[in-house]
Chains A and B, each alone.
Chain A
Amino acid sequence: KQEVTQIPAALSVPEGENLVLNCSFTDSAIYNLQWFRQDPGKGLTSLLLIQSSQREQTSGRLNASLDKSSGRSTLYIAASQPGDSATYLCAVSQAGTALIFGKGTTLSVSS
């Protein structure tokens, strides 16, 4: 059974720092991996989607990497801002459809 783990569970950093969020999964036979952002009281916003054949994806200050063989992904956030404060969720798809989620990393960026 696929399990997704995210560490750390919570992270507090001052504005301007670069940071890395980690995600690991137990079954490397994934179809894709997706990083989401969830703001308090809001739904989910997709940040980056990495297909199983890809190694990384970039969007603005965000860079996500995927090492399928080791079952790991990282989300790198450059020059963090207070507006980045949210919960970041990692999820994998094994059938190209429904997702299996980690518990998330709650990020707080102070100004």
Chain B
Amino acid sequence: SAVISQKPSRDICQRGTSLTIQCQVDSQVTMMFWYRQQPGQSLTLIATANQGSEATYESGFVIDKFPISRPNLTFSTLTVSNMSPEDSSIYLCSVVGGRGGNTIYFGEGSWLTVV
């Protein structure tokens, strides 16, 4: 299994500011993802964090708003830029691991409230 640590776990942010969320994994993983869960909604994939290259973004998400870094195989960051109340969500880091390399693990999530 993979143990994922996310920071911060919760934060209250001012409108117009940016916040960076960190995701640390206890083992090297090839695939890392960032999801968003808006209030009352299911999880939506933001992007795949690629080690050593630019992240791959899903439709509706852009690098200027959600810049992602992945400097190595155990760490990634997601920045939520120029936040508005609509960005109030849970942001979750996810990795692929397990014995067969096909189990997906999630961090505890970062709960952001934008005021």
A and B from one complex: yes
Main secondary structure of the interface of B (DSSP, over half): strand
1/0 per residue A87-110: CB within 8 Å of B?
001010100111111111000000
Q: A44-B106, A97-B48 are in contact. Are A102 and B42 (CB under 8 A)?
A: yes
A32 close to B (CB within 8 Å): yes
Residues from chain A with Cβ under 8 Å of B44 in the complex = 101
Q: Tell me which residues from 5 to 32 in chain B have a Cβ below 8 Å from any Cβ of chain A.
A: 6, 31
Interface size of A by CB at 8 A reads: 25
B59 to chain A, nearest CB (A): 9
* Highest count of chain A CB atoms <10 Å: which of B42, B48, B92, B103: B42
* Sample (11) of A-B pairs whose CB atoms are under 8 Å apart: A34-B104, A41-B111, A43-B106, A43-B109, A44-B106, A46-B105, A46-B106, A49-B102, A89-B43, A93-B104, A99-B45
Could you tell me which B residues sit within 8 Å of A by CB distance?
6, 31, 33, 41-45, 48, 92, 94, 96, 102-109, 111
Known: A49-B102, A99-B94, A101-B42. 15 other contacts (CB 8 A): A4-B42, A32-B102, A36-B106, A41-B111, A42-B109, A43-B107, A44-B92, A44-B106, A45-B106, A46-B106, A51-B102, A89-B42, A100-B45, A102-B42, A103-B41
